[in-house]
Amino acid sequence: MDTPFHQFSDLFAQLGLPSDEASIRAFIGKHSPLPENVDLWDAPFWTPAQATLLRDEIVEDADWAEAVDQLNLALRAPA
Please measure the distance between the N-terminal and C-terminal CA atoms of the chain and give it in whole angstroms.
Answer: 38
- Whole-prediction pTM value? 0.89
Contact 68, 54 (CB under 8 A): yes
Domains and CATH numbers, the chain: 8-76 (1.10.10.1130)
Q: What is the pLDDT of residues 2-34, one digit of tens each?
A: 556 789 999 999 999 999 999 999 999 999 999
- Name the pLDDT band for 79 (thresholds 50, 70, 90): low
Encode 22-48: b = buried (16+ Cβ within 10 Å), e = exposed.
eebeebbeeeeebeeeeebbebeebee
How buried is residue 4: exposed, middle or buried, by Cβ count under 10 Å (0-12/13-18/19+)? exposed
